[in-house]
């Protein structure tokens, strides 16, 4: 039995995580001096309540000023949302587990030892879109959205900020990167391995908003939220899977933009990049690559540490080692690890151009 420490997990949740959840649940959060204001998804289905649910960052508590008229924490909100939106009866433990698994926090076994691996099936069983997910030959078929929405974005406009960062126009075209003037957002469609349109994420160009809320979010247009369980797919796999199969190697980045940079620098025909769209790789994502016959998985995560040995460094190292332990019998796992700190804090190894990337790649750690 795996137990999660509620307080530890609440502490580990960032403001951005909370925002992401509120957004995902249709609460339509907006910033306020004290935190966020959003719709009362605590007692209403999304789109129906008034904007009377407040989140206070200093206490980590919500207050609903109408129906509930009470303070509660994120876990209680999960149980409320589970009831209203997923017709599921969650107790506190279910809620804590759901949050932990949603963000990839690990728990502890009851005897105090660390948990071996997260059970992705439990995660799936509780996931809000379970009704949209069906099993097909042991793989998961995510709900397909109507791709005609993609025709409404602007593809003629050159996306200046990204071109300046080194992303080639042809890389953007291959990945159908567009622009949605209504939201002042760069549009990033997500496709499954077979090219089905399963999600749409937006990168806001408003710097201030981007800083505060995390730069990438599922997009909501005309009442449809184009979200998908990120851990159940690999971004760009539809474009790179043939090369991955051929070269028997895959590079996993955290974010979509890294894949765009990779293929810009090394060519669309050499693209072996995917993005896990987060800072952890799910068992399902790994299996997608193993099924493709890879001999090596190169993990190319962001430099999420300031100094060698600091708290973030330890966290990153633990995660990477855990990943390797889990899969070492099936595949060679290597890590790009910027131990000499030649890239900036929080940047992807591809952010500083092809030469830096190649240097880091050559120096990757094969444990």
The answer to whether 289 contacts Zn ion (rule: CB under 5 A) is no
The answer to whether 67 contacts Zn ion (rule: CB under 5 A) is yes
Closer to Zn ion at the Cβ: 64 or 118? Answer: 64
CB of 66 to Zn ion, least distance (A): 6
Closer to Zn ion at the Cβ: 72 or 313? Answer: 72
CA distance 270 to 56: 47
Choose which of 4, 21, 27, 40 interacts with Zn ion (CB under 5 A).
40
The answer to whether 43 contacts Zn ion (rule: CB under 5 A) is yes
Total of residues contacting Zn ion (CB under 5 A): 6
φ, ψ at 246 (rounded to 5°)? -70, -45
Closer to Zn ion at the Cβ: 40 or 233? Answer: 40
Q: Find the DSSP H helices in 249-292.
A: 256-266, 283-291
Is residue 40 within 8 A of residue 52, CB to CB? The reply is yes
Contacts of 253 (CB under 8 A, 6+ apart): 259, 262, 273, 274, 275, 276, 300, 301, 348, 350
CA distance 262 to 275: 11
Angle at Cα 341 formed by Cα 339 and Cα 344, nearest 5°?
Answer: 135
CB of 129 to Zn ion, least distance (A): 23
The answer to whether 51 contacts Zn ion (rule: CB under 5 A) is no
Measured from the Cβ of residue 39, the count of other Cβ atoms closer than 10 Å reads 21
The answer to whether 81 contacts Zn ion (rule: CB under 5 A) is no
CB of 44 to Zn ion, least distance (A): 7
Is residue 94 within 8 A of residue 126, CB to CB? The reply is yes
Reported as type and span, the H/E element at residue 284 is helix 283-291
The answer to whether 78 contacts Zn ion (rule: CB under 5 A) is no
Among the residue ranges 64-72, 132-140, 238-246, 351-359, the one whose residues contact Zn ion (CB under 5 A): 64-72
Choose which of 21, 41, 68, 81 interacts with Zn ion (CB under 5 A).
68
The answer to whether 60 contacts Zn ion (rule: CB under 5 A) is no
CB of 72 to Zn ion, least distance (A): 9
Is residue 265 within 8 A of residue 358, CB to CB? The reply is no
CB of 49 to Zn ion, least distance (A): 7
The most distant pair of C-alpha atoms in the chain lies apart, rounded to whole Å, by: 59
DSSP annotation string for 325-361: HHHTTTSEEEE---TT--S-TT--TTTT-HHHHHHHH
Closer to Zn ion at the Cβ: 53 or 250? Answer: 53
Choose which of 13, 42, 95, 100 interacts with Zn ion (CB under 5 A).
42
Residue nearest to Zn ion (CB): 64
Q: Which residues bind Zn ion (CB under 5 A)?
A: 40, 42-43, 64, 67-68
């Amino acid at each position: 039995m795996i137990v999660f420490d509620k307080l530890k997990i609440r502490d580990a949740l960032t403001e951005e995580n909370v925002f992401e959840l509120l957004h995902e649940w249709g609460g339509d959060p907006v910033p306020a001096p004290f935190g966020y204001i959003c719709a009362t998804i605590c007692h209403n289905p999304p789109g129906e309540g008034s904007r009377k649910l407040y989140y206070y960052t200093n206490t980590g508590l919500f207050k609903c000023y109408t129906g509930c008229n009470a303070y509660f924490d994120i876990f209680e909100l999960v149980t409320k949302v589970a009831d209203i939106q997923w017709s599921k009866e969650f107790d506190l433990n279910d809620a804590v587990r759901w949050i932990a698994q949603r963000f990839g926090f690990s728990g502890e076994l009851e005897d105090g030892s660390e948990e071996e691996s997260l059970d992705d099936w439990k995660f799936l069983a509780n996931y809000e879109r379970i009704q949209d997910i069906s099993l097909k030959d042991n793989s998961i078929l995510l709900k397909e959205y109507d791709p005609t929405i993609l025709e409404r974005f602007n593809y003629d406009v050159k996306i200046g900020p990204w071109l300046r960062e080194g992303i080639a126009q042809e890389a953007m075209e291959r990945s159908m990167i567009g622009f949605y003037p209504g939201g002042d957002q760069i549009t990033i469609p997500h496709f499954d391995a077979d090219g089905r349109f399963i999600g749409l994420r937006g990168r806001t160009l408003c710097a201030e908003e981007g800083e505060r809320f995390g730069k990438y979010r599922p997009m909501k247009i005309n009442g449809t939220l184009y979200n998908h369980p990120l851990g159940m797919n690999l971004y760009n796999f539809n474009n790179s899977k043939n090369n991955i199969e051929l070269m028997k190697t895959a590079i996993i980045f955290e974010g979509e933009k890294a894949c765009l940079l990779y293929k810009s620098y090394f060519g669309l025909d050499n693209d072996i990049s995917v993005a896990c769209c987060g800072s952890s790789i799910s068992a399902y994502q790994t299996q997608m690559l193993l099924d493709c016959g890879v001999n090596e998985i190169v993990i190319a995560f962001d430099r999420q540490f300031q100094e060698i040995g600091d708290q973030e460094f330890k966290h990153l190292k633990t995660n990477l080692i855990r990943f390797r332990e889990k899969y070492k019998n099936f595949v060679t796992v290597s890590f790009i690890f910027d131990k000499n700190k030649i890239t900036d804090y929080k940047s992807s190894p591809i952010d500083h151009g092809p030469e830096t990337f190649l240097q880091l790649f050559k120096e990757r750690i094969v444990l």
